Amino acid sequence: MSQDQTQGQMRGQTQGRDQDITVVHLMRHGEVANPDGVLYGRLPGYHLSELGRQMAERVAEHLAPRDVTYVVASPLERAQETATPIAKAHGLDLDTDGRLIEAENVFQGKTFGVGDGALRRPENWKHLVNPFKPSWGEPYVDQVVRMMGALDAAKDAARGHEAVLVSHQLPIWIVRSFVEKRRLWHDPRKRQCTLASLTSFTYRGDKIVSVGYSEPARDLVPAHLLAGAKPVKGKSKAFGA
């Protein structure tokens, strides 16, 4: 075999490997305008705050050099508004996938701060009896099923390139925990999934081979919402779901 043939074969093998790698970024939406501290869950009408829009723009700038060919978001306004500048930066239409929606929660529409709100009311205690399922909302297993479906669909849509999926903290953390073989029940205060963060799944073919995490807008995130921060009375991490 000639040197030119050998080099051509090596280039073909390298290109084939590159085409076999797909990166799917699960992004949490930016900060939401929520002055009353309501656990908004799936309620309509909750939009990004001005700071949240800055977060979305920051991540769009961060991802601008990347080979993003597919952008999709949860149907909720905060996710759609976060995804819009990313899609625009790449000249793409924004798709919607209902599987990326926030988890159901019986406390939706109620205040849920530390030392006040829904947890002080005895009538709500029955919802807290089983943290393993959990008893207060959508089963963790159901979240895994729908989120894995959304990940796989995005991987197929962007095969050989990169996709961005904008979703919500709990579903993102649960599917990451599943992929990394951790138990699904957990302390919500210890989730590594801040506002506007990226949890990135790298596929080789159809298999996830690595998971990465980054916070392109970390300097914009309020201190009490960072992973590991101590709770602040009247301010719950759940607000930014």
- Closest C-alpha among 34, 164, 174 to residue 108: 34
Segment 77-85 shows an average pLDDT of 99
pLDDT in tens, 90-109: 999 999 999 999 998 877 88
**Percentage of the chain lying above the pLDDT 70 cut:** 77
Q: Which band of pLDDT confidence, cut at 50, 70 and 90, is reported for residue 134? A: confident
Could you tell me the maximum CA-CA distance found in the chain, to the nearest angstrom? Answer: 80
In whole angstroms, give the CA distance from residue 236 to residue 115: 10
For the chain, the straight-line distance linking the first and the last C-alpha, in angstroms and rounded, comes to 59
Per-range mean pLDDT, top range of 105-119, 130-144, 213-227:
213-227
Question: Within 13 Å of residue 166, how many CA atoms lie on the same side as its CB?
Answer: 29
In whole angstroms, give the CA distance from residue 18 to residue 172: 26
The first and second tokens of residue 172, run together, are 């993102």
In whole angstroms, give the CA distance from residue 206 to residue 219: 35
CATH 3.40.50.1240 fits 19-240, yes or no: yes
Please work out, in degrees rounded to the nearest 5, the angle formed at the alpha carbon of residue 231 by the alpha carbons of 228 and 232: 140
- Count Cβ neighbours within 10 Å for each residue of 58-88 and write b for 16 or more, e otherwise: bbbebbeeeebbbbbbbebbbbbbbbbbbbe
Least confident stretch, 73-87, 112-126, 145-159: 112-126
What's the pLDDT score for residue 239?
Answer: 42
pLDDT > 50? residue 240 = no
pLDDT > 90? residue 83 = yes
- The phi and psi torsions of 223 (rounded to 5 degrees) equal -55, -40
What's the pLDDT score for residue 110?
Answer: 77
In whole angstroms, give the CA distance from residue 126 to residue 103: 19
Query: Which of the two residues, 215 and 184, has the higher pLDDT score?
Result: 215
Domain ranges of the chain: 19-240
Contact 112, 236 (CB under 8 A): yes
CA dihedral (160, 162, 167, 169) in degrees, to 10, reads: 100
pLDDT > 60? residue 115 = no
- The phi and psi torsions of 153 (rounded to 5 degrees) equal -65, -40
In whole angstroms, give the CA distance from residue 51 to residue 61: 15
Query: Which of the two residues, 114 and 202, has the higher pLDDT score?
Result: 202
Output the average pLDDT for the chain: 86
